[in-house]
Amino acid sequence: MIEEQNPWWISPELIRENEYYRKYQESKVKWDVTLPVSLEPYSLNFLFGPRQVGKTTGLILLIKRLLDKGYNPKSIFYFACDKLADYKELDEVLEEYDKIRKKEGIKSSVIILDEITFPKEWFRSIKYRIDVGKFSNDVLILSGSLSMKAKGEIETFPGRRGKGEVLVMFPLPFSEYVKLFGINLPTGDLKFILENYTKYIGYLPKLKEILEYYLVTGGFPNAVKDFLIKGKVSQSTEYDFISGIISDINKLRRSERFFKLTARAIIERTSSEYSFHTISKDYGVGTVKTAISYVNLMEKLYFMKVIETMDANTGLPIPRKQKKFYFIDPFIYHAFSNWTMTKPPDESKLIEAVIVSHLSRFYDINYVKSNEEVDVIVKVNGEYWGVEIKYGRVRERRKVLGKVKKFIYISKEELGDDVIPAPLFLAMLKIPIVVKNS
């Protein structure tokens, strides 16, 4: 079983027999994913992300890069743990590889354990081996079901990560998505966009068309491939996504019903501010404590982002105030809408959700509720900037609000000083696919 999962041990060229690598190479729609893991021993790296976001493909591409750099093929050990029952079977696999590398005289390895959470109490084997020094010269990369984060299992490794990183892989952002259509615009932060967007207005018609596609597919690889090849996202892609979520919910011994009701609340009230009490009372998600726990679960599964209101005069969040809740990708909205039999948000609300989720990868964000609402507050080089999302006409512009001294207005098509159409704004906003979350 070990040799089957590591065909490059026979010849580096045989990595092409790996199913994920083969599908990646054969795909008419693909993009490169570089995982900024630490490759310096000793390192314990974790890789999280929503289901079907491309984590395993990213790991296989990493192996190809290591082989191309001249790594000893047998010093690269990959194992998908989804067929293992418990930590004892995992320990047997690791013991077997230990024998192989000792026989080969390998002193340092890159050990990639994919779907590590399938074996029950998997962490017992890993922690023991770390504590007795069996991995002291190695690089470990552990990728798993999202329940690894939701169960708090990563917290069982205090002081054991060495030089490792905690990475989160997100769906493809719009600035990378447009490259699939042959558009390569310069990207940067808010200040960069504000200083340069007028140079690229000629791209607007095409960017507007591509954004319409993005609002259907989001940045999930299978949904993107479906749409660009077939013109729509297949039911099987949505079904596989939801099935995986149900599997995680069951593993965590949580209520599928409460999860669906929470999802419905977020869909129906996207872009509005409300409280956990609303989710509990209006949608039947048990008590307020129960509603909080299911929102927290969705955050730990990297499906959504909760935005707190901020005091514009102090720059501090106000946790007890009402909040805003957004899913991080249009595909999640559509898949959850079909699952919960709820109409998805309209275009303007989906656009707002995309902008909020993109900015949240790069900045700490809040919003302000005063006489008039400020959709997003971000901190840029120590300064607070307001981002107003106006899909109607931008009628009035703010000059200052407490600590917020600068405002950008995101419009549907309108152009002007500090007014940037959403397709151009998103295409020029530099957003990473993989984020360090240490």
Tell me the chain's radius of gyration from C-alpha atoms: 23
Mean pLDDT, residues 270-295 taken together? 95
Mean pLDDT, residues 335-345 taken together? 97
Residue 146 shares a structural domain with residue 248: no
Residue 240 shares a structural domain with residue 361: yes
Q: How far apart are CA 181 and CA 39, in angstroms?
A: 33
Residue 133 shares a structural domain with residue 236: no
**Those residues with Cβ within 8 angstroms of residue 14's Cβ, 6 or more apart along the chain or in another chain:** 7, 8
Say if residue 393's pLDDT is above 90. no
Q: Give the tens place of pLDDT for each residue, 348-363.
A: 999 999 999 999 988 9
Mean pLDDT, residues 202-216 taken together? 97
Q: Give the tens place of pLDDT for each residue, 145-198.
A: 665 666 667 776 888 889 999 999 999 999 999 999 999 999 999 999 999 999
Say if residue 51's pLDDT is above 80. yes
Residue 299 shares a structural domain with residue 182: yes
> Which residues span the domain enclosing 88?
2-169
Say if residue 314's pLDDT is above 80. yes
CATH code for the domain in which residue 82 is found: 3.40.50.300
> Each residue of 219-232: b (16+ CB within 10 Å) or e?
bbbbbbbbbeeeee
Question: What is the number of structural domains in the chain?
Answer: 2
Say if residue 398's pLDDT is above 90. no
Give pLDDT, residue 294.
Answer: 97
Residue 207 shares a structural domain with residue 122: no
Residue 154 shares a structural domain with residue 111: yes
Q: Give the tens place of pLDDT for each residue, 63-77.
A: 999 999 999 999 999
Residue 196 shares a structural domain with residue 146: no
- E strands, 86-242, are 110-114, 139-143, 166-169
Residue 333 shares a structural domain with residue 415: yes
Residue 142 shares a structural domain with residue 218: no
Q: Give the tens place of pLDDT for each residue, 291-300.
A: 999 999 999 8
Q: Give the tens place of pLDDT for each residue, 124-152.
A: 999 999 999 999 999 999 997 665 666 66
Give pLDDT, residue 307.
Answer: 95
Classified as helix, coil or strand, 77 is strand
Q: Which of residues 134, 169, 204 is at a domain's end? A: 169
Give pLDDT, residue 151.
Answer: 66
Mean pLDDT, residues 112-123 taken together? 91
User: H/E element holding 43?
Assistant: strand 43-48
Mean pLDDT, residues 333-350 taken together? 96
Mean pLDDT, residues 221-250 taken together? 93
Q: Which of residues 110, 143, 169 is at a domain's end? A: 169
Give pLDDT, residue 397.
Answer: 73
Mean pLDDT, residues 202-208 taken together? 97
Q: Give the tens place of pLDDT for each residue, 20-29.
A: 999 999 888 8
**pLDDT, the chain, mean:** 92
Say if residue 404's pLDDT is above 80. yes
Mean pLDDT, residues 368-379 taken together? 83
Mean pLDDT, residues 287-315 taken together? 93
SS3 per residue for 371-431 = CCEEEEEEEECCEEEEEEEECCCCCCCCCCECCEEEEEEEECCCCECCEEEHHHHHHHECC
Which is more confident, 337 or 244? 337
Q: Give the tens place of pLDDT for each residue, 55-65.
A: 999 999 999 99
- Quick one: the chain helix, strand, coil %, rounded to 5? 45, 20, 35
Residue 295 shares a structural domain with residue 239: yes
Q: Which of residues 135, 169, 203 is at a domain's end? A: 169
Residue 348 shares a structural domain with residue 333: yes
Residue 188 shares a structural domain with residue 280: yes
Give pLDDT, residue 399.
Answer: 72
DSSP calls for 246-289: HHHHHHTT--HHHHHHHHHHHHHTTTSEE-HHHHHHHH--SSHH
Say if residue 310's pLDDT is above 70. yes
Q: How far is CA 343 from CA 323, 334, 348, 394, in A?
A: 22, 9, 14, 28
Give pLDDT, residue 371.
Answer: 65
Q: How far is CA 116 from CA 41, 46, 204, 350, in A?
A: 20, 10, 44, 34
Q: How far apart are CA 66 and CA 78, in angstroms?
A: 12
Give pLDDT, residue 148.
Answer: 63
Give pLDDT, residue 79.
Answer: 97
